Structure 1
Amino acid sequence: MSAAAAAQQEQDIQRKLSYSAALPVSKPGDKVQTSRVTEAVSSFHFSQVFRPETTQRDLFEQTTYAIIEEALEGKNGLVFAYGVTNSGKTYTILGTPEQPGILPETFVTLFKKADNFRITASYVEIYNEKVYDLLATGQRRVFLQLLEKDGRVYVKDLEERPIKSYEEAKLMLETGQKNRQVGETKCNSDSSRSHCVFSLHLYHQDDPTTLFSKISIVDLAGCERGAKTGASGLRLQEASKINGSLMNLNRCLETLRFNQLHPKSERPVPFRSSKLTRLFQASFVSKQAGRIIMIVAVNPSTDEFDETLRTLQYSAIAKEVVTAPSKTTLLSRRLF
């Protein structure tokens, strides 16, 4: 195939994907369609599809704003960005100075509303299946243990820093970002090599020592194939750990869905098989379970078609999962 023909083929597929994203599909039950040039069509149902021109502020208001409102009422919340490498996950979470992402917008909104709360923050990284504190000082990185107490999984010796303003929160985020593991691949010159979790802990002034609620915002590393990214050595090892943890997340979602459909023949959910799912087990199956937002970033490039298709297949399962005790999972999708 000539270069011109290949370019035209990619434009055709991008046009189909973008057109689907531009359809009025804001109500639950709408769908995204993807198509190969062979006209083989797959259809996936999502809660919402955001048009390419959606602003960062609009995305925040339609996905994460409700989590902040519920956190002020004592409910936990979890937001995570999921998708292939180089699809826009980090942009969605962090944004730019001109178009702040979900996390900076959360800072702004929370400090406007949380007058009666003391707020602390923590920032962790899961790299090669080890947990690190991105706010830790010192030259040597020390991985931390995941422990369980009273049914709650927590990171031992993780630092929680008090924050009193948007400026303090933003500085903390920037400090953690400097310590994050990134690396160059063929797909991305600045590819995230780890999952990162920024958590905001709320303590009510009437009981300042007891955790009232928590908001966790997660930038997942992108699923990838070594052959596509040119990974070898350390990069290949990183990709293997990333893919393994994401696959286990998918297995957990599939098992949760199976158990909801077959309550008399429940299967064990493999939360303990990766640090990522272990850390957020309580978000799915405990009294602490609250609203969960899954934002799926989709890259319309033909080079990423197979990975994108797989991403849509897995994320569509998540829409059907209901978190305990009786909170329906809200999942939003963004198409880039």
Structure 2
Amino acid sequence: MEPVLDPETIFRPSYIASVELPLRTGPVNVEDIKTNLSDEFSLAASSLDMSQPNSFVCKEHVQVCLRIRPFTSSEKEQEFQECVSIEDSTSVILKAPKNSMACRLSEKNMGQMMQKFMFSHVFGPETTQEEFFEGTMKQPVQDFLEGHSHLIFTYGVTNAGKTYTFQGTEDDVGILPRTMDMLFKRVHGKMYPEMDLKPHRCREYIKLTKEQMKEEIAFKNSILRLTKEADFQNSNCSKTSDESEDLEEVTKESEQSITTEGSHMKFSLWVSFCEIYNECIYDLLFPITNDKKRKLLRLAQDIKGCSYVRDLQWVQISNAKEAFRLLKLGLKHQSIACTKLNTCSSRSHSIFTVKILRIEDSKIPLVTQVSELVLCDLAGSERCTKTRNEGDRLKESGNINTSLLILGKCINALKNSQQS
């Protein structure tokens, strides 16, 4: 038999009651622990200029700009129902389509439901490529030249216009060609002529021997021979490069910024181009072998724990045209396919990285800083019910959606860390 415990016979000592507290004999003076919180809150409020709409944007570590794609002619006939309306330069209001179940249920219960979303900046359908670049990339590129590193990526559903924003067309180039054009304009006349200093791993660099320099030059020449030089004479980017007035103006700006750094400061620019296809990393600048197999690259970590892609090829570039040729070569090797929603759908995440070595070139060249600008064109999320993908396309969709889901978790972790 189990013993029956009588609650009245069980004694549990109270650790609170066992402490003998002194009896209060009179009022307690608490003047020394009082704090005038109203003064502190008013001081904190005065430090924030609430009249400026971007007072919080400048403090953001992650800025999100929304670009709304204009409807095509077929979409205007079928789907133009004013689902998206721009409230101001930082917010949009979304309404469910009139023929959707969500719209019918909301109207039946509580009227039409609307959702408001806030962004760092909202660009309407009428925004040009040049206006979008000026509003999003101009300041990060300037910060990059001053030694700061940045990550820029396009994000959205399939057929949302990400690749057009990223690459553009030969007649109206996107943010990547415009970025390279701006970089070389700003460092005009301050390029480091040698190829003896090369970026290594994450933010490190190595000194190349004469034999290694010859190998780098031979590899660069072989890469540039793989594609013909693109004709950008009719593109806006080349026009800005060839117009003497604009070039003189940019040269003056670069000279003003360089005088503050010293006359011996030089810049060495290196680029790489890779893609993540079905969770595998491939070098888009590496020549494809005769059996059409590509070398699989892997992630690694340096001593500081920073991740980098092992054996990724880096190519030194001397002007914007070389950058365009490498970009076109990489795009030729990128994984694309036709789906129901997009005739030229990106099936991989492409990553174009630019690294700048700031070199004090007085007597002995000395690298003072290595900074990087990473531009990612992410593949769009897909719904199989809309794309009707099968086989390889379905496998690609699953990997794309999984990687974007993990990216969302990373962004959420950054946001939580920023708030705390």
TM value normalised by structure 1: 0.70
Check conservation: 2:151, 2:374, Cα contact below 8 A: yes
Provide Cα deviations, 1:244-284, integer angstroms capped at 9, x if missing partner.
Answer: 000001111222333444x5xxxxxxxxxxxxxxxxxxxxx
Q: What is the aligned counterpart of 1:130 among 255, 268, 280?
A: 280
1:179 is matched with 333
The answer to whether the aligner puts 1:46 opposite 2:115 as a matched pair is: no
Q: Using the alignment, how far apart are the partners of 2:413 and 2:310 within structure 1?
A: 28
The answer to whether the aligner puts 1:62 opposite 2:220 as a matched pair is: no
2:370 is matched with 212
The answer to whether the aligner puts 1:144 opposite 2:287 as a matched pair is: no
The answer to whether the aligner puts 1:168 opposite 2:318 as a matched pair is: no
Shift in Å, 1:7:
7.3
In the TM superposition, 1:1-336 aligns within 5 A as 10-13=79-82, 16-17=83-84, 20-21=85-86, 25-26=88-89, 30-36=90-96, 37=98, 38=103, 39-114=112-187, 115=190, 116-139=266-289, 140-149=293-302, 150-206=304-360, 212-261=370-419, 263=420
Answer 1 or 2: which has greater strand percent: 1
Gaps of 5+ in 1: 1-5, 264-336
Gaps of 5+ in 2: 1-74, 104-111, 191-265
Q: Using the alignment, how far apart are the partners of 2:171 and 2:328 within structure 1?
A: 16
Shift in Å, 1:90:
0.2
Q: Using the alignment, how far apart are the partners of 1:204 and 1:91 within structure 2?
A: 32
Q: Using the alignment, how far apart are the partners of 2:127 and 2:76 within structure 1?
A: 26
TM value normalised by structure 2: 0.57
- Aligned amino acid, residue 397 of structure 2: A
Structure showing greater Rg: 2
Q: Using the alignment, how far apart are the partners of 2:351 and 2:78 within structure 1?
A: 38
Q: Using the alignment, how far apart are the partners of 2:301 and 2:114 within structure 1?
A: 45
Shift in Å, 1:8:
6.1
Provide Cα deviations, 1:54-83, integer angstroms capped at 9, x if missing partner.
Answer: 111111111111111111111001111000
Secondary structure in structure 1 of the residue aligned to 2:79:
helix
Check conservation: 1:118, 1:208, Cα contact below 8 A: no
Matched positions, count: 248
- Aligned amino acid, residue 80 of structure 1: F
- Runs of 4+ in structure 1 displaced over 4 angstroms? 6-9, 207-211
Q: Using the alignment, how far apart are the partners of 1:67 and 1:59 within structure 2?
A: 13
Q: Using the alignment, how far apart are the partners of 1:258 and 1:190 within structure 2?
A: 36
Q: Using the alignment, how far apart are the partners of 1:126 and 1:156 within structure 2?
A: 14
With over 3 angstroms needed to count, the CA separation of the structure-2 counterparts of 1:98 and 1:9, relative to structure 1, is closer
Identity, in percent, stands at 40
Check conservation: 1:181, 1:192, Cα contact below 8 A: yes
Q: Using the alignment, how far apart are the partners of 2:318 and 2:418 within structure 1?
A: 41
Q: Using the alignment, how far apart are the partners of 2:401 and 2:149 within structure 1?
A: 27
Shift in Å, 1:205:
2.4
Q: Using the alignment, how far apart are the partners of 1:254 and 1:101 within structure 2?
A: 28
